[in-house]
């Protein structure tokens, strides 16, 4: 594999690395369990609150509500986060996916608000 990459031109090598990385991420995400989905959805909601709420006290209340909606207490969620840190690649994939979903939802919310005005 290393010899193949030495022969390939740099732009092609970059594309190959991207595809390999994408394939690895897809492999990790395809092995996601129901617990992974619950954690990711809760983390997405937490990120969305943090992206959209300016008042820190209101944001904290909304974060707690989001965690409760997904069946977590703050302590339970924190504990699960640190347990998942034992599998850093899987945790990174879940966090990256949650960030992407939260950003997409935040942009959709902003777009809807601008259409109303």
| pLDDT value at residue 1 | 47
What's the whole-model pTM score? 0.70
> Is the separation of the CB atoms in 13 and 5 below 8 Å?
yes
| pLDDT value at residue 72 | 97
Going from N- to C-terminal start, the domains of the chain cover: 1-31, 33-116
Structure confidence by residue, pLDDT tens digits, 38-94: 999 999 999 999 999 999 999 999 999 999 999 999 999 999 999 999 999 999 999
> Is the separation of the CB atoms in 32 and 84 below 8 Å?
no
Crossing angle of helices 74-84 and 88-116, rounded to 10° = 130
| pLDDT value at residue 112 | 86
Residue 9: left if φ>0, alpha if ψ -120 to 50, beta else—which one? beta
Fill in the DSSP letter of residue 87.
Answer: S
């Amino acid at each position: 594999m290393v010899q193949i990459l030495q022969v390939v031109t740099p732009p092609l090598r970059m594309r190959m690395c991207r595809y390999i990385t994408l394939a690895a991420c897809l492999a990790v995400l395809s092995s996601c369990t129901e617990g992974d989905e619950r954690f990711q959805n809760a983390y997405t909601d937490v990120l969305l609150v943090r992206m959209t709420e300016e008042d820190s006290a209101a944001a904290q209340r909304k974060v707690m509500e989001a965690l409760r909606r997904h069946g977590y207490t703050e302590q339970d969620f924190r504990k699960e986060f640190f347990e998942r840190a034992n599998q850093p690649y899987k945790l990174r994939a879940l966090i990256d996916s949650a960030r992407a979903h939260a950003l997409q939802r935040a942009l959709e919310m902003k777009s809807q608000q601008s259409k109303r005005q």
